[in-house]
Structure 1
Amino acid sequence: MSGKFKITSSHWVIVVALLAAGFACFLLVEPYINSIVMAFIISLLMFPIHDKIETRVGSQKNLASLLSCMLLSVIIVLPLLFVFAAIVQQGSTFSQNVYQWVTQGGIQALFEHPWIVKALSIINTYLPFDEIKPQEVGQKIAQFATSFGTNLVGISAKILGDATSFLLNFFLMLFVLFFLLRDHDTIIAAIRHILPLSRSQEDKLLEEVEKVSKSAVMGSFLTAIAQGFAGGIGMWLAGFQGLFWGTMMGFASFIPVVGTALIWIPAAIYLFLTGDTTWGIFLTIWSIAVVGSIDNLLRPFLMQGSAGMNTLMIFFSLLGGLHLFGLIGLIYGPLIFAITMVLFNIYEEEFKHFLDEQDQN
């Protein structure tokens, strides 16, 4: 460089105005930020496939991006529609079975089971709760089962609304993804030009964002799919609706600490209480040995590229992200941690001389 860059008051005016305009733009796109972020992350995952498509169609970037988006739609939307229809059918069957079981005296027979009688006796004797009376609990469960038909209408309407919202967000994400794939090189070049960092620092930051985005998606969502698939097989073998409960276990796997145990423990207890001891033992062993091992082995393996974060940091990034942002926080949390660590490394490099002097004093 021929000379030092000097910051003037006009520069500060431009920076402040730019920050204010940037914040206003953020407010405009905030309702759609999740779709934009997901489009960005999926573009990173899809770019190797898109690159091959682009090579085959030549210089027609619009056609290549369109084909990539259509391929993604076929991969995601069609299986989801099939799974959603099966879940609604199996969920409806399950609710009807529960209603019949309760109204035909199943709940009374359950409370007469020796294990339940003994457990209630211990609870009423030693724990500081009001006395639990089986008749009152049975009445409340029966009332819930009686009103379940009415509730099911409301639940179905909510599911339909959520599905409609999902489709709208998905098509918005596809729209953004189209431009991200088509203009990938231009966007990266613009980001590099704007960032006030050296080329090596930009490479490190962009590389880490890409790596963590991929590992967060793989670590969270692929683990959920794998656990849901394995759990569904176990539940189906034990006599439950496999697809419905497998899907529920997939969603439950996102819950920290508890995870899929939220589903399989009550199912195993039910099997023990109804006399299916063999299947209860099978489901317990299967859920611990197979479903549990997926979470313990697959998730850390898929997320091992997360900016050198150890298991504790990954856990808190997932837990905090889930708490602050909801399900999308499983991606945001590790991403925020990773960017912070990369920026901290850049800070260490830039101020290395000063920090070394501080250590010596």
Structure 2
Amino acid sequence: MSSTILQIRTFLILLVAVSAAFVWLLIPFAGAIFWAIVLAILFIPMQRWLIGVMPNWPNAATLLTMLAAVVIVLMPVSFVAQSVITELIHLYQQVQDGDFRAGDAYEQLVNAVPPSMMPWFERLGLDDVETIKSYISRFASQAVRLVGNQAINVGQNTFMFVLELCIMLYLQFFLLRDGMKLSGLVTNALPLAMEHKARFMSKFATVVRATIKGNVVVAICQGALGGLIFWALGIASATLWGTVMAVLSLLPAVGAGLVWGPVAVYFLATGDIAKGAILGAYGVLVIGLVDNVLRPVLVGKDTRLPDYMVLLSTLGGLTMFGISGFIAGPLIAVLFLVAWDLFRVMNQEISETVEDR
């Protein structure tokens, strides 16, 4: 018996060590692997439908699914990413040349404030224009330098981008074609009862797909609508601000309003009533309603993450994983909730078994 226990423990140590070494090998391509898995989860229903249409051509069905993923997701994302990087590099060069003065907008805003409101500004300490201008300019310059450096690095590292794209597409093909087999292998390897495995995998897949669709589609729609109105009103760097609104759309209640709201107020305060009114009305009636209209359709009540969980997991994911954290953070939150839900069910079953005895 002691010999058998020793062998089991030795094998488990070996298994953990080999698994850790394999994960360590994959770390440089973690982003490509992650996005291949995400795209496979999103497009596997299409692949299954195509398999039903052409059952004798599984590889062709998979290739058609990948082509759809490229056209629907990768091409638009690449176009937006290129535009955002270009605009960020332009802002970065303005900062380097000393032409970037974010604080000037605040000075114009204060100068446009009616005299009757100035006492309120003085009470709040907002009348010290030069100091606040300095703070705003310094903060904006540091932010642009930080993000601009990342944009320059991404733009210069073309080889790694192409390599990761090829790895992602290659891996996505096999995940789509052999996804069910791989899922079965993972499910069988879990040391759980069969009904618990089925509950865990089914609920995890459902919530993951709903979360991805809900977060990503709503964010894309709000960002696209925000960028469109900024472009129509002649606001500089419309693509960049649209991307920022897409990320901020994950924040409950306020979301993209953190971008278009201050801009609308600035227009109104500086006398551009038409642009301010158009942007304000558009933000409330169009951008603001996207979340209320689309999210219930894409995400059912039973599969929706709480707003606070979406916020915390997204911010944590962006901090830990960069842009991939936009999806990785909520997915980890889903795994957390599903695992604890399974633990609750198992604990309840054990309690009922003990009571029956």
TM-score, structure 2 normalization: 0.75
Deviates more, 1:87-96 or 1:262-271: 87-96
Once residues 318 and 136 of structure 1 are traced to their aligned partners in structure 2, the CA distance between those partners, rounded to angstroms, is: 30
Residue 82 of structure 1 deviates from its aligned partner by 4.2
Of 188, 191, 194, the match for 1:199:
194
Of 44, 67, 80, the match for 1:47:
44
- 8 Å CA contact retained: 2:245, 2:256: yes
Residue 225 of structure 1 deviates from its aligned partner by 0.9
Residue 49 of structure 1 deviates from its aligned partner by 1.8
Counterpart in the other structure of 2:275: 279
TM-score, structure 1 normalization: 0.74
Counterpart in the other structure of 1:346: 342
Residues 324-343 of structure 1: pairs in structure 2 closer than 5 A? 324-343=320-339
Residue 277 of structure 1 deviates from its aligned partner by 1.0
Deviates more, 1:35-44 or 1:109-118: 109-118
- 8 Å CA contact retained: 1:208, 1:342: yes
Residue 227 of structure 1 deviates from its aligned partner by 0.4
Cα 1:9–1:116, aligned 2, differ >3 Å: closer, same or farther? farther
Counterpart in the other structure of 2:34: 37
Counterpart in the other structure of 1:270: 266
The amino acid of 2:34's aligned partner reads V
Residue deviations 1:78-115 (CA, integer Å, cap 9, x gap): 3345445665787899999999x999xx8798378341
Residue deviations 1:220-261 (CA, integer Å, cap 9, x gap): 211111101222343344343655543442244346665323
- 8 Å CA contact retained: 1:90, 1:244: yes
The amino acid of 1:10's aligned partner reads Q
Once residues 333 and 147 of structure 2 are traced to their aligned partners in structure 1, the CA distance between those partners, rounded to angstroms, is: 41
Structure 1 unpaired stretches of 5+:
1-6
Once residues 232 and 128 of structure 2 are traced to their aligned partners in structure 1, the CA distance between those partners, rounded to angstroms, is: 34
Residue deviations 1:143-189 (CA, integer Å, cap 9, x gap): x99xxxx9999787345247765544333211211111222232122
Counterpart in the other structure of 2:245: 249
Structure 2 unpaired stretches of 5+:
none
Residue 118 of structure 1 deviates from its aligned partner by 7.6
Once residues 195 and 120 of structure 1 are traced to their aligned partners in structure 2, the CA distance between those partners, rounded to angstroms, is: 66
Q: Percentage identity across aligned positions? A: 25
Deviates more, 1:351-360 or 1:310-319: 351-360
- 8 Å CA contact retained: 1:209, 1:335: no
Residue 280 of structure 1 deviates from its aligned partner by 0.6
Deviates more, 1:231-240 or 1:156-165: 156-165
- 8 Å CA contact retained: 1:57, 1:64: yes
The amino acid of 2:68's aligned partner reads L
Residues 1-361 of structure 1: pairs in structure 2 closer than 5 A? 8-84=5-81, 110=108, 113-115=111-113, 123=121, 126-127=124-125, 132-134=128-130, 137=133, 157-158=152-153, 160-161=155-156, 166-240=161-235, 243=239, 245-254=241-250, 259-299=255-295, 302-304=298-300, 307=303, 309-352=305-348, 354-356=350-352
The amino acid of 1:352's aligned partner reads Q
- 8 Å CA contact retained: 1:321, 1:333: yes
Residue deviations 1:102-152 (CA, integer Å, cap 9, x gap): 99xx8798378341888777555553x8x83549949x96xx99xxxx999
Once residues 111 and 58 of structure 2 are traced to their aligned partners in structure 1, the CA distance between those partners, rounded to angstroms, is: 68
Alpha-carbon RMSD across the aligned residues, in angstroms, is 4.5
Cα 1:263–1:342, aligned 2, differ >3 Å: closer, same or farther? closer
Deviates more, 1:58-67 or 1:279-288: 58-67
Once residues 260 and 108 of structure 1 are traced to their aligned partners in structure 2, the CA distance between those partners, rounded to angstroms, is: 21
- 8 Å CA contact retained: 1:307, 1:342: no
Once residues 315 and 289 of structure 1 are traced to their aligned partners in structure 2, the CA distance between those partners, rounded to angstroms, is: 23
- 8 Å CA contact retained: 2:252, 2:308: no
Larger Rg: 1
